[in-house]
């Protein structure tokens, strides 16, 4: 690596550093895209690794409290220092990241762009552990990598140590742990965001440029589920790839929740969507509603889901749909950030039941909407307590946090929304389930052939239990509509 980069750093140009003759054009488009994925940098101490000549350093310095920019090529470090050293909150270091020493719990954000693919598996494992220890609890690691694909010009005769798949990076991120200050305490990473770099999709037809934003969290926080993080709980229990496809077969192509295309059409019609409007779908599942909105109304949709399995399937479907106006990302809506006024509509279907502090989430939604923007949510709710023991056990097993429809509506009002409508749609929920059970009976043989009788019974028995819970008054279904003044 040292010999290669000595050859390709003599002039310390952006073309050399990116190994791409279109570097300037790419930078103009990708740089704001990547910076938009970062958390708010106000007051943060940033460690930028593989900083190169300072493509990102200059922007990080204007937003963060302090930036330490590290690269292992002297020529890159010197150019970065010449161009950005006038900032009083800057430090520049020539160092090999595999040998870098940083105080534990001293950094708020580690930022790297095209660095980890130059590390061997052993070096990468060590780096991930180091990065986790360098970060304070609640700190972030952002990295962008080329996954199984050369990022620059094909004429470059160069292969880094290891091109990895998205799954390999994600698995490595999920497995790394470090000891906390208290006995028995462990910290790991939660995925806040995983997203393709759209600039490379559009300019180079390259969907393999992937960004991750990770947060350092105490792993004991989710010990009741049996998994280190809530995301692992979702992908390994309720939303396995097979489980998702099993739901889809019942609910309809592209859908994994109650009512499928019929309730989607009914609820989306309430939004009066206009061509060119921007929609954020929180808990997008495998994207059926997003494709419907884009095709029917000509809107742009960004779908977020915490389940990697959901988003992987959604992106597979997006290739078939050929709708560039629909994008997906793995993201935690409670941690994701967007500039004020980013969307005309925020839409969510049967997802927020997983989120504890709903008021805090709705307060995040409010500034993301443009003035006059609309909020539409359907979600599982509950009747007044006390609940039956069966319902208590169900809610605990699923990890749901439920409120009555009226409580839910009050949270939306408290978050600053106006014209709030909170409707108990449980009667509709019951009728939809009955209709879906009739459809299931009609495709029973086909379903069992594609999956199994066990899978069929799991779905049908689940519906029967939902009917019992709904008829008893424990389980409710709410529809919520509001606007931003």
DSSP per position, 403-418: --HHHHHHHHHHTT-E
Q: Which alpha helices (H) appear in 36-153, and where do they start and end?
A: 57-61, 74-84, 121-134
Among 176, 200, 224, the domain boundary falls at 224
Alpha-carbon dihedral sign for residues 150, 151, 153, 159: negative
Q: How far apart are CA 272 and CA 119, in angstroms?
A: 50
Mention every residue, 6+ apart, whose C-beta is less than 8 A from residue 391.
382, 469, 472, 474, 475
131: nearest Cα among 149, 115, 147: 115
The confidence score (pLDDT) of residue 222 equals: 47
**Are both 385 and 293 inside the same structural domain?**
yes
Among 224, 251, 284, the domain boundary falls at 224
Q: How far apart are CA 60 and CA 46, in angstroms?
A: 8
444: nearest Cα among 431, 457, 428, 426: 457
- Do 224 and 398 meet the contact criterion of CB atoms below 8 Å apart? no
Strands (E), 90-130: 90-94, 107-113
Tokens matching residue 86: 């006038």
The confidence score (pLDDT) of residue 24 equals: 78
**Are both 82 and 217 inside the same structural domain?**
yes
- Do 77 and 94 meet the contact criterion of CB atoms below 8 Å apart? yes
**Are both 376 and 239 inside the same structural domain?**
yes
Instruction: Classify residue 221 by its DSSP letter.
Output: G
**Are both 165 and 26 inside the same structural domain?**
yes
Q: Which alpha helices (H) appear in 270-301, and where do they start and end?
A: 288-297
Question: pLDDT digit string (tens) for 183-193?
Answer: 888 999 999 99
List the pLDDT tens digit at each of the 485 positions of the chain.
666 666 666 666 666 666 677 777 888 889 999 999 999 999 999 999 999 999 999 999 999 999 999 998 888 899 999 999 999 999 999 999 999 999 999 999 999 998 998 888 899 999 999 999 999 999 999 999 998 755 454 434 444 456 788 889 988 888 899 998 888 889 999 999 999 999 988 888 888 999 999 999 998 644 455 666 777 778 887 788 999 999 999 999 999 988 999 999 999 999 999 999 999 999 999 999 999 999 999 999 999 999 999 999 999 898 889 898 999 999 999 999 999 999 999 999 999 999 999 999 999 999 999 999 999 999 999 999 999 999 999 999 888 999 999 999 999 999 999 999 999 999 999 999 999 999 999 999 999 999 999 999 999 999 999 999 999 999 999 999 999 99
Q: How far apart are CA 380 and CA 478, in angstroms?
A: 6
Range of the domain at 107: 2-224
The confidence score (pLDDT) of residue 18 equals: 67
CA dihedral 438, 444, 450, 455 (to 10 degrees): 80
The confidence score (pLDDT) of residue 231 equals: 79
The confidence score (pLDDT) of residue 385 equals: 92
- Do 349 and 257 meet the contact criterion of CB atoms below 8 Å apart? yes
**Are both 129 and 244 inside the same structural domain?**
no
Q: Which alpha helices (H) appear in 106-240, and where do they start and end?
A: 121-134, 166-175, 198-204, 230-233
**Are both 383 and 433 inside the same structural domain?**
yes
Number of domains in the chain: 2
The confidence score (pLDDT) of residue 22 equals: 76
**Are both 21 and 92 inside the same structural domain?**
yes
The confidence score (pLDDT) of residue 228 equals: 67
Mention every residue, 6+ apart, whose C-beta is less than 8 A from residue 172.
124, 125, 128
**Are both 272 and 220 inside the same structural domain?**
no
**Are both 188 and 300 inside the same structural domain?**
no
- Do 93 and 69 meet the contact criterion of CB atoms below 8 Å apart? yes
Among 208, 224, 240, the domain boundary falls at 224
What value, to the nearest 5°, has the Cα angle with vertex 24 and ends 146 and 210? 20
User: What are 282's strand-pairing partners?
Assistant: 304
CATH of the domain at 307: 3.40.50.150
**Are both 190 and 53 inside the same structural domain?**
yes
**Are both 206 and 281 inside the same structural domain?**
no
**Are both 197 and 304 inside the same structural domain?**
no
């Amino acid at each position: 690596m040292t010999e290669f980069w000595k050859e390709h750093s003599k002039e310390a140009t952006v073309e050399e550093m990116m190994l791409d003759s279109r570097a300037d054009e790419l930078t103009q488009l990708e740089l704001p895209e990547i910076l938009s994925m970062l958390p708010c940098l106000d007051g943060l101490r940033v460690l930028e690794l593989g900083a190169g000549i300072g493509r990102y350093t200059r922007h990080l310095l204007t937003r963060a409290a302090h930036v330490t920019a590290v690269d292992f090529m002297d020529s890159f470090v010197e150019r970065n220092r010449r161009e950005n050293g006038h900032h009083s909150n800057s430090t520049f270091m020539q160092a090999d990241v595999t040998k870098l020493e940083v105080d534990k719990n001293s950094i708020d954000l580690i930022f790297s762009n095209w660095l980890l693919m130059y590390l061997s598996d052993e070096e990468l494992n060590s780096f991930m552990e180091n990065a986790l220890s360098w970060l304070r609890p609640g700190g972030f690691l952002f990295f962008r990598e080329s996954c199984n694909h050369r990022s620059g010009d094909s004429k470059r005769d160069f292969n880094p140590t290891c091109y990895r798949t998205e799954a390999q990076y994600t698995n490595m991120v999920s497995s790394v742990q470090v000891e906390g200050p208290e006995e028995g305490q462990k910290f790991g990473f939660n995925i806040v965001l995983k997203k393709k770099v759209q600039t490379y999709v559009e300019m180079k037809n390259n969907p393999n440029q992937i960004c991750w934003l990770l947060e350092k969290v105490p792993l004991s926080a989710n010990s009741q589920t049996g998994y280190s993080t809530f995301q692992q709980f979702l992908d390994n229990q309720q939303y396995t790839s097979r489980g998702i496809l099993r739901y889809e077969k019942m609910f309809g192509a592209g859908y994994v929740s109650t009512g499928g295309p019929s309730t989607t059409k009914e609820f989306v019609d309430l939004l009066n969507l206009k061509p060119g409007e921007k929609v954020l779908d929180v808990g997008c599942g495998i994207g059926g509603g997003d494709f419907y909105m884009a095709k029917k109304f000509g809107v742009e949709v960004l779908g977020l889901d915490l389940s990697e399995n959901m988003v992987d399937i959604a992106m597979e479907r997006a290739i078939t749909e050929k709708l560039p106006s629909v994008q997906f990302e793995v993201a935690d809506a409670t941690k994701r950030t967007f500039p004020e006024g980013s969307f005309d509509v925020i839409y969510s279907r049967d997802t927020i039941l997983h989120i504890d502090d709903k008021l805090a989430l709705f307060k995040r939604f409010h500034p993301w909407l443009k003035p006059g923007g609309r909020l539409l949510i359907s979600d599982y709710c509950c009747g007044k307590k006390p609940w039956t023991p069966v319902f208590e056990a169900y809610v605990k097993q699923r990890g749901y946090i439920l409120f009555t429809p009226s409580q839910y509506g009050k949270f939306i009002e408290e978050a600053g929304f106006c014209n709030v409508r909170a409707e108990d749609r449980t009667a509709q929920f019951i009728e939809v389930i009955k209709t879906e059970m009739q459809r299931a009976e009609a495709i029973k043989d086909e379903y069992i052939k594609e999956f199994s009788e066990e899978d069929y019974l799991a779905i049908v028995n689940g519906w029967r239990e939902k009917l019992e819970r709904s008829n008893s008054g424990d389980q409710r279904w709410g529809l919520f509509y509001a606007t931003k003044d």
